[in-house]
Amino acid sequence: MSNSDRVLTYLVGFGIGMILVWMILARRAAKEEMAVDPWVVHNAQAVEAGAEPLPAAVPAAIHKGKIIDFGYLPSVDVPQERVWLLNFEESYPYVRVVEDLGSGEFRYMAADQISIQLADGVDVTALKPMLDELGLRLRMFNRKEQLAVVGVLHTGIGAVPDTIEALNEWRELFVSAQPDVLRFQPR
């Protein structure tokens, strides 16, 4: 076999190999496109079970979450807010989306924790009796900013406001207790 035959055989083999690899990758990409996203299926099931779908005005990143609960606050009879609880696999695990029915404004916050800004001169150890009585857990404390992050009372749609209301008995310990708000980068 001459050198030119070897080069020709190599080029033909290389070409056939490239075509096979392209076909395999194209087939794999087509399968992925045809596969149904399990989050979309779960969201559709939650909507069928009574949860309303997330409005289009919500950021695209929020639409990737799995709807785990939905409801109206303070009640279905006198709704002031629509609330969705979402679960995310890769980012912040539990997110609470609140739509004010009067203004149409959306708020995004952690569904499983709140932030407490401690009063001047109050050390985080002063929170222990309050946390023990309510059955709450201190998740994080920033001594420099006097900021404590605390878990919530329960896992329902009203967990954040219920926890903030329950803390009012110990109001002298902190300046503010508020939702752990999520902020999105401008596009």
Instruction: Specify the DSSP class assigned to residue 145.
Output: T
What is the model's pLDDT at position 78?
Answer: 85
The CA distance from 82 to 123, in Å, is 36
What is the model's pLDDT at position 38?
Answer: 57
The CA distance from 70 to 62, in Å, is 14
> Which parts of the chain sit beneath pLDDT 70?
36-45, 47, 185-187
What is the model's pLDDT at position 164?
Answer: 96
| Cα 36 from chain centroid (whole Å) | 21
- pTM score, two decimals? 0.70
What is the model's pLDDT at position 93?
Answer: 85
Return the number of other C-beta atoms located less than 10 Å from residue 26's C-beta.
Answer: 10
What is the model's pLDDT at position 186?
Answer: 59
